Amino acid sequence: MATEQQRVDNMDFTTGNIFKKLVGFMIPILGALILQTMYGAVDIVVVGWFGTETSISAVSTGSSLINMIVFILCGLAMGVTVLMGRYIGEGNERRLGRVIGGAILTFLVIAAILTLLLLVGAPFLAGWMQAPADALSQTITYIRICGGGIVFIIGYNLISSIFRGIGNSKLPLLFVGIACAVNIVLDILFVAGFRMDVAGAALATVIAQAVSLLLSLLVCRKIPLPFTLKKSDLVMSGEVKRFLALGLPIAFQELLTQLSFLFLLSFVNGMGTTEAIRLASSSGYGIANKLVGLVMLVPSALMQSMSSFIAQNVGAGKERRAEKSMGYGMLFGGSIGIVMTAAAFFGGQFLASLFTDNVAYQMKAAEYLQGFSLEAIVTSILFSFIGYYNGHNQTLFVMLQGMAQSFLVRLPMAYVMSHLMPDSLVYIGAAAPVATVFGIVINMVYFLYFSRRELMKTGELKQEPEQSA
C-alpha cells in the first residue's frame, strides 16, 4: 500500500517524469469516460433490443439534450478544477475549502432552475429538437424523468471535478463505475423485465446517479483529503467569481458546441427523401453518436487531464514543463487515434450491429462514422491545445476558437450537405474533422505568440528544457 507521502507525490504534477505522471493521471480519467460512454450506450442497446421501433430515436434525442446540459455544467466545473490545481501549484491549499463551498451552493441553484425547466418545458424542447412524430411522446417522457433527477447527475459530476482538481482521478473512476453497474442492472430490470421501455431507461439513469452520488459522499467521509470544508465555506465568496470567470467561457463554448450537435440532429431528423429513410437516418445517427463517444474517449481524457496537469505547473512557474506535457499528450493521443480511426472507418456497420439488428439503421450509422473517422486523430491534437490553454486560464480564447469551428465550418458544411446529399450521412460526419483541422490552425497561430510571452514571464526563454522528463 502506498504511503501518505507517495500519495501526495502522485498528485504533485510539478516534479518527476512528465509522461509517466500524465499517463498515470489520465488512465483513470479515461476509464471513467469509458464507463460513462458504456452508461449511455447501455440505454440504447437495451431499448434497441427490448423496446419499440421508435425507442432508439426517443432515447437518442432525449439523451442528447440531457448530455448537452451535463457537458455545459462540466465545462463550468472545469473552472473549479483549474482554480484548485492553480492553488495547489502555488502551495495555497488553504483556499480550497472556500472554492468547494462556493461551488456546492452555485450548482445547487443551477440544479433547481434546471429541474423546473425540464419538467415544464419538455414538450417544447422535444419539438425544438425535431423528434420524429412517432417518438415525440417517448422523448418528452425521457426528458421529464431525467429532469426530475438532474440534481443527482449534477452532484456526481461536481464531485468528480473536485477530485480531479486535487490531482486524484481514481475516485471519480470508482464513482462512475458504481453508477454504470447500477444502471446496467436497472436497465435490464426496467426495460427487459418490466417492459417500461423509454421510461425505464430514464429511471435507471436517474437512480444510478443518485446511488453513485450517495456512495461517493460516504467515501469522502472515510478518506484523508488535502482540504477541509467548513460550514463557513458555504458562501458565495470571491472564489465563486474566480472559478466562474474560468468556467463560464468553457461552459459557453460547450453550450455552443452542444447546440451545434443539436442543430446537426435537427438536420439529420429532416434528412431523407422518404419517411423510412428519415427514421433510419435519425436512429442511425443516434447509434453513431454512441460510437462517436467511444472514438472520442482518448481526446476527452487528454483535455481533462491536461487542464489539471498544466494548471499545477503554471502555478509553480514551470512553463517549459507545461509545454512538454502538451506535446506528450498530442503524441500519445494521436497514436491511439490512428487505431480508432481505422475501426470507425472500416468497422462501422459491425459496431452498429451491437446496438440493433436493423440493417438500415446499421448502414446509416456506418455512413456517418466513415465521414467522422479522422476526428479521432485530429481531435487529440486540438484537445491537447485546449487543455494547455485551460490550464493557463485562457478559457476565453478556448471559447472563441470553439465558436469559430462550429459556426464558421461545421454547421454550414453540415447544413449544405444535408440538402445536397439528403440520403447519405457521410458528409455530415466529415464536417467534424474539417472543422477540427480549422481549429488546430487557429490554436497553433495563437500558441506561437502565447508560448513566447509565458516563457519570458518565467525567465525560461533562454533556458534548456528540463532533462528529467
Q: State the maximum Cα–Cα separation within the chain, in Å, rounded to a whole number.
A: 68
Neighbours of 120 (CB within 10 A): 12
**pLDDT per residue as tens, the chain (469 positions):** 445 444 444 567 888 888 888 888 888 888 887 887 777 678 878 887 887 778 888 888 888 788 888 888 888 888 888 888 888 777 777 788 888 889 999 999 999 999 999 999 999 998 887 777 888 899 999 999 999 999 998 998 888 888 887 778 888 888 888 888 899 999 999 998 888 989 999 999 999 989 988 988 887 777 777 677 787 777 888 888 988 888 888 888 777 776 777 777 778 777 766 677 777 777 788 788 778 877 778 888 888 888 888 888 888 888 888 889 899 989 988 898 899 889 888 988 888 888 778 888 888 888 889 889 899 899 999 999 998 998 888 888 988 998 899 889 988 998 888 788 777 788 888 888 999 999 999 999 999 999 888 888 777 765 555 444 4
Q: Which three cell numbers stand for residue 69?
A: 446540459
Q: How far is CA 426 from CA 41, 293, 364, in A?
A: 22, 17, 9
Q: Which three cell numbers stand for residue 428?
A: 455530415
CA distance linking residue 70 with residue 17, whole number of Å: 34
Neighbours of 207 (CB within 10 A): 18
Q: Which three cell numbers stand for residue 394?
A: 485562457
